[in-house]
Amino acid sequence: MTWTAPEVTRTPGSLVADERETLTGYLNWFRSTLLQKCAGLTGEQLAERTVPPSNLSLLGLVRHMAKVERTWFRQRFAGQDLEPMYDPAKGKDADFEDLDPATAAEDHARLIEEIRLAGEAVAGASLDDTFTHNGAVFSLRLVHVHMIGEYARHLGHADLVRERLDGVTGD
């Protein structure tokens, strides 16, 4: 049986919430939008690179965002000592380049799990809480803003990849 990415319901965040709920709601909307871009596609379709010579694929974007979620929320903010998600010997772009359509379900589930674990890592923390990375001090607020920007940028890529793949467009 061929795995197909499940349908996703996006839930918009509040338009009048406090800062924390607004940032979290907006980030969650972007997270679910990436998953929605993958909905209905098989592992083979998700791994297809439709915009040559780019190495971009929807599966690569899913893998990349799982790595980014882990890096910013769990490793950098929460200071968790975690093994690399992808084999460092395969290069810094292994999330995009070392794809296997047969593991698409696991990669999809990994992103969902990293999102859940990111939420756990920041539960109870203040947006004003900070950490130092490469000599610079970052706030949790900045991490949220950075992640919203990261998803927004890659959702533009996902739109193009999906449209080239099967003609599906959408918001």
Residues 4-49 have pLDDT tens digits of 999 999 988 889 999 999 999 999 999 999 999 999 999 999 999 9
Q: In this predicted structure, what is the pLDDT of residue 60? A: 98
For residues 76 and 109, give the distance between their C-alpha atoms in angstroms, rounded to a whole number. Answer: 22
Residue with more model confidence, 170 or 51: 51
CA angle 66, 118, 2 (to 5 degrees): 40
- Using CA atoms, how far residue 81 sits from 16, 84, 140, in Å, is 37, 10, 18
Q: Per-residue pLDDT averaged across 62-83, rounded?
A: 98
- CB atoms under 10 Å from CB of 9, counted, come to 8
pTM of the model: 0.96
Residues 91-133 have pLDDT tens digits of 999 999 999 999 999 999 999 999 999 999 999 999 999 999 9
Task: Indicate the burial class of 102 (C-beta count within 10 angstroms; 0-12, 13-18, 19 or more).
Answer: exposed
Question: Who's near 6: CB < 8 A, 6+ residues apart?
Answer: 39
Instruction: Please say if the pLDDT value at position 145 is more than 90.
Output: yes
Question: Who's near 43: CB < 8 A, 6+ residues apart?
Answer: 2, 3, 59, 101, 102, 103, 104, 105
Q: In this predicted structure, what is the pLDDT of residue 13? A: 85
